[in-house]
Amino acid sequence: GGAAMAAVRDVEIDPEGTFKYILVRLQRPGGEEQRDIVRGTKAAEFHNHIFEKVNPEMEKLGYECKCLGGGKIDHNSKDKKIRVFGLSTGYGKADHSVTVEILKKVYTDYEITWSDDKK
């Protein structure tokens, strides 16, 4: 169980630019084991486009997915800065502080901040 979940990357976001993101909770049906992942891409015009891509991928691995909310990520790879802000109209606002903690696991040498600003 744990190995398969560990194989799912904590973060998959575009390497540059400003784009929508969602915070997704993975859970084994009937199991205690759960974890949160961050997904974001410029290719998604709406937050649900991201979820519609992640959900089937995770279902194949045997997880139930729940979107905990969304927002935007501003990723500046040159200055090694990530800013998390905004919200999703459909899913509501993700807990950006949780998102930041997940991002920090991957982008260890970045300055990562969040706010409830809309833009």
Task: Report the C-alpha gap between 15 and 41 in whole angstroms.
Answer: 9
- Judge residue 66's burial from the number of C-beta atoms within 10 Å of its C-beta, 0-12 exposed, 13-18 middle, 19 or more buried: middle
Task: Report the C-alpha gap between 66 and 88 in whole angstroms.
Answer: 14
The verdict on whether 49 is a catalytic residue reads no
> Comparing C-alpha atoms, which of 93, 66, 71 is closest to residue 84?
71
Task: Report the C-alpha gap between 113 and 109 in whole angstroms.
Answer: 13
20 annotated ligand binder? yes
Catalytic-role residue among 47, 49, 75, 96: 47
- Which residues are part of the catalytic machinery? 47
Q: Give the residue ranges of the annotated binding site for substrate.
A: 20
Q: Give the residue ranges of the annotated binding site.
A: 20
